[in-house]
A and B are shown apart, each in its own frame.
Chain A
Amino acid sequence: MRSDRGQRAPLGLKVAAACGLLFLHLPILLIFVYAFTTEEKSFVWPPPGLTTQWFAVTWNRPDVWDALSLSVRVAAISTAIALVLGTLCAAAVSQTRFFGREAISLLVILPIALPGIITGIALRSAFSLADIPFSFWTIVLGHATFCVVVVYNNAVARFRRTSGSMIEASMDLGADGFQTFRHVVLPNIATALLAGGMLAFALSFDEVIVTTFTAGQQQTVPIWMLEELIRPRQRPVTNVVAMVVVLVTLLPILFAYYLTRDGDQIAGSGK
């Protein structure tokens, strides 16, 4: 809201705002700078020299590729599951009235409100209770819990804006349920699903806490990074990977923001 448009902000406010933004983003810039440092054992400021050799080193490290591949696969599958379940759930909650509707709506959102560590511990004890060995699918399951919420929130907001009589109009004009979904529902929620899906992908890609409880010995990119920090060897490789992760997660979120900025906000992006 711009209540007093045209009035200039006082200098003090500008400085404070600038300091706030710098505080938020300078550390990220530091990560980028350290990716080019010649010092490999510890992070010293200023960097003694600049080099691009770490990009080549990173490229040739199989553990980086393994972690990256695992993360991408987990994020992709979790997002796919979330898209299906989140959309179905949103459709049910926003298009019909039934007993327990509010409760279901709350239960769906709960995983994102709960601290990740609780979700993680709960899943881990559930897995061991059911004798399920850690695998790719246990990670996917853990990630799907919060990915579903993100898709659900986006889809529900869009469904609310979509007139319910549109679906009736489509049926009235001779379209059966499938045709109505294909020609009316899907085109109207597509951008919301794309936005929700990309956000879900980004969340899954950098998730640490739930993953540590559900991954066993497998390493996703963030877990691999944590391990790298403990074993100091070719440290700037971590920074190179960090840069890649920032780009991989930032671009979808930006894109999602532009897709949905007219109207509904990207609900749940605060996780």
Chain B
Amino acid sequence: MTSAVSFKQVSRHFGSVRAVDAVDLEIAPGEFFAMLGPSGSGKTTCLRLIAGFEQPTAGSISIFGERAEGVPPYRRNVNTVFQDYALFPHLNVLENVAYGLMVKGVGKAERLKAAEEALSLVRLPGYGARRPGQLSGGQRQRVALARALVNQPKVLLLDEPLGALDLKLRENMQEELKSLQKVLGITFVFVTHDQGEALSMADRVAVFNDGRIMQVGTPEDIYQRPNTRFVADFVGSSNVLPPDFVQRYSGQHRWGSLRPESIRVSNATSGDGVAARLVGTNYLGATTRLALDAEGLRLHAVVPAGTALPAEGEAVMLTFNRESLHLMDEPA
């Protein structure tokens, strides 16, 4: 099967800065794919390479089997939802949505009808006559989405589309984007620095760092079985355990990771487990995050709210199931 987007050893260097460095990537048709990473990790440059705003310094990119190097953005069947939405302030909402069809020469009646339909799709019917300036952030986001979707792209690129929205709106939009993608069957490529967003929405996630992909996998893979310290730490702030510590529990001299929610904290002062001292608590609503000091090793544990907690500074005993301890590929 042809990949929707395929990167082969793609690099994009800006002078001495390697924004994207020898990246291999296959995105399947109809997939909801997330590119996750801290700022400056190369995820946005990858998106811009797919859109055609950047050209690779080396390597080859194909979109549904067609070579994309040297093809300008306006000749690619790919559309982008921009981080700042980039709506045209001099056009009303309907004209904004119809813009792509207008420049392709679609007749006025036909393109306005298609734009109206696209607005219904994003649940903004009847907003066509308004100016972008009269809309709220969430509504602008939907208009940007409709403006991209009206062109029936083969791949839809979303550059941190939810970054500017408040929490409640963001959660709604996450669900909506996901169901929209299911209905339309279009390949979505989504850039975010929010691991929660990537895990909850994507079919597969690529974790970026320093212009390279550290790991590609399903959200569960990435979360439960990180292959490097970076992934373990960046995706959900896992506890990264040094080889010496891991050896004591698994017999193997490798780096390990342990999810904070896998650690049980008890008041016992003897018995099996890791002796530690509680150094801080952080109330998060549904859960409480505990900072622990195990003979110099800083660990975090997350316990459900309402659990009886020892006082700060008290000695505690930490236990966890062996299978929760994940051994990473990264060499010790």
List residues of chain A with CB under 8 Å of any chain B CB.
163, 165-166, 168-176, 179, 183-184, 187-188
Contacts and interface: CB of A to CB of B under 8 A. Distances in A.
Contact of A169 (B86, B90, B102): B86
B73 A172 contact: yes
Nearest to B79: A172
B72 interface: yes
A171 B74 contact: yes
Nearest to A169: B86
Given A168-B53, A183-B99, A183-B103, A175 B82 contact: no
B82 A165 contact: yes
Given A166-B88, A183-B99, A187-B90, A173 B79 contact: yes
Given A169-B82, A171-B72, A171-B73, A179 B51 contact: no
A163 B73 CA distance: 18
B86 A174 contact: no
A174 B103 contact: yes
Contact of A165 (B84, B90, B99, B147): B84
Consensus secondary structure, chain A interface: helix
A175 B103 contact: yes
Contact of B86 (A165, A175, A183, A187): A165
Interface residues of B, number: 25
A170 B90 CA distance: 13
Given A175-B74, A179-B103, 12 more contacts: A165-B82, A169-B86, A169-B88, A172-B73, A173-B147, A174-B74, A174-B100, A176-B72, A183-B99, A183-B103, A187-B90, A188-B88
B141 interface: no
Given A173-B79, A174-B104, A174-B151, A168 B73 contact: yes
A163 B74 contact: no
Interface of B: 51-53, 72-74, 78-80, 82-84, 86-90, 99-100, 102-104, 147-148, 151
A172 B51 contact: yes
Contacts of B53: 168, 171-172
Scoring A170, A171, A175 by chain B CB atoms within 10 A of each residue's CB, the highest score goes to A171
B191 to A, nearest CB: 14
A163 B86 contact: yes
A187 B148 CA distance: 21
Scoring A166, A172, A183, A188 by chain B CB atoms within 10 A of each residue's CB, the highest score goes to A172
Going nearest first, the 3 A-B pairs with the smallest beta carbon separation are A173-B100, A169-B86, A165-B86
B74 A168 contact: no
A168 B53 CA distance: 7
Scoring B52, B74, B80, B104 by chain A CB atoms within 10 A of each residue's CB, the highest score goes to B74
B88 A184 contact: yes
B80 A169 contact: yes
A87 to B, nearest CB: 17
A170 B73 CA distance: 9
A202 to B, nearest CB: 26
B254 to A, nearest CB: 44
B163 to A, nearest CB: 14
A176 B74 contact: yes
B89 A173 contact: no
30 contacts: A163-B86, A165-B83, A165-B86, A166-B88, A168-B80, A168-B82, A169-B82, A169-B88, A170-B88, A170-B99, A172-B52, A172-B74, A172-B79, A172-B80, A173-B74, A173-B99, A173-B147, A173-B148, A173-B151, A174-B100, A174-B103, A174-B151, A175-B74, A175-B99, A179-B103, A183-B99, A183-B102, A183-B103, A184-B88, A188-B88
A140 to B, nearest CB: 33
Given A170-B99, A172-B74, A188 B82 contact: no
A179 to B, nearest CB: 5
Nearest to A167: B86
A170 B79 CA distance: 10
A152 B104 CA distance: 32
Contacts of A165: 82-84, 86
A179 B103 CA distance: 7
A71 to B, nearest CB: 34
Scoring A165, A169, A173, A188 by chain B CB atoms within 10 A of each residue's CB, the highest score goes to A173
A176 B82 CA distance: 18
A221 B41 CA distance: 63
A163 B84 contact: yes
B82 A173 contact: no
Contacts of B151: 173-174
Contacts of B100: 173-174
Contacts of A173: 74, 79, 99-100, 103, 147-148, 151
Nearest to A175: B103
A165 B86 CA distance: 6
A101 to B, nearest CB: 16
Contacts of A171: 52-53, 72-74
